[in-house]
Structure 1
Amino acid sequence: MAATGQVFLLLGSNLGDRGQVLTSAREAIAEQAGSIGNQSAIYETEPWGITDQPVFLNQVLEITTSLLPEDLLRIILNIEHDLGRVRYERWGARVIDIDILYFGQTIMDSARLTLPHPRIQDRRFVLAPLTEIAPDFIHPLLQKTSSKLLQECPDTSAVSKIP
């Protein structure tokens, strides 16, 4: 498969040295998954889902990869594991979380992976950094730009760019 651009990943961390964890994740992604093109600023964000936990640092990366979507997922899960991710509860605190938001215009729903990520439009902590680097990227199912999705996002949690 040829290299695919406009693969967007969301990084998040709310345990440990969050900034260092994001740096380590970026380095591992660049080594194992594909080259990093655009990257958003880092944002401090309120937890979503389970709100009684530490605040997150989040960042969106755009990568170019020659991997297939499920192969990329496997590598991402390995990176999370290597950085100390343990899955206790859905939406709970975590050292690192890496989500595939978009894989170009790919639409898929397998047992392991749904593309695009099914909750992009509901999460300000995803849309703010995504809109920073890809304001005009069009969601392949909703046919709306990142900017439009952010305008319409029902999530009111605090999302602040780290200077």
Structure 2
Amino acid sequence: MERIYIGMGSNLADPAEQLRSAVEALAHLPQSRWVGVSAFYQSDSLLPGQPRYTNAVAAIDSNLAPLALLDALQAIETDQGRERLERWGPRTLDLDILLFGDRLIDEPRLKVPHYHMHARPFVLYPLAELAPASLTLADGRSLQQLLNDCPYVGLERLAPGAESNQ
């Protein structure tokens, strides 16, 4: 089994509940074992005029092939009301494969390590809660280096249980 880190985000239809439902679905993926989830974080949308996002990172161990996992994640998104109307629009749920073991993946549908994670504190800081401090990405960058280059700005860590009050 390979350790896989999955970024989760939502800014529609009770975002914290969307993430909790996603956690439940991830915990039941075939050929996979649940590892854990980070705290929930809030941040402003990258695009003006959208509601704030709630984000987290989940970890699973899995024997699924990368594209099979991507298909399963997209099915979870669809089950939770995701409509793919525009690339950067608001969404009920977004599940992104951030890291897939020590693999470099460059497929038309999937790039791993996730191509924008280095610039997103709402991905890196939750990831740091789950990943070992010594984590090095398949492309040679260390998680610590990415954290050093991506300040903790605009990110609000929700207190345990606070995410249920949104």
Match of 2:162 in 1: none
Moved more, 26-35 or 72-81: 26-35
SS at match of 1:98: strand
CA distance in 2, matches of 1:157, 1:118: 20
Deviations 1:86-115 (A, max 9, x none): 012222110000000000111111111111
Q: Which residue of 2 aligns with 1:108?
A: 105
Partner of 1:41: 39
2:18 corresponds, among 17, 21, 28, to 21
CA distance in 2 between partners of 1:103 and 1:43 (Å): 22
Hey, what's the Cα distance between the residues in 1 that align with 2:148 and 2:156? 16
What is residue 137 of structure 1 aligned with on the other side? Answer: 135
Secondary structure in 1 aligned to 2:91? Answer: coil
Consecutive aligned runs of 4 or more in structure 1 exceeding 6 Å deviation: none
2:156 to 150, 156, 160: 160
- Counterpart residue identity of residue 7, structure 1: I
CA contact (8 A) 1:15 1:93 kept: yes
Q: Is the 8 A contact 1:46 1:157 kept in 2?
A: no
Q: Which consecutive unaligned segments of at least 5 residues does structure 1 have?
A: none
The one-character-per-residue Cα deviations of 1:104-149 (angstroms, maximum 9, x if unpaired) are 11111111111111111111111111112213211111x2322220
Corresponding pairs, count: 157
SS of residue paired to 1:8 = strand
Q: Contact (CA 8 Å) 1:128, 1:159: kept in 2 or not? A: no
CA distance in 2, matches of 1:103, 1:68: 10
Residue of structure 2 equivalent to 1:118: 115
Normalised TM-score (structure 1)? 0.90
Paired with 1:120 and 1:51, the residues of 2 have a C-alpha distance of: 20
Q: Provide the residue aligned with 1:84 in structure 2.
A: 81
Q: Tell me the C-alpha RMSD between the 2 structures.
A: 1.4
Q: Cα distance, 1:41 vs. partner?
A: 0.5
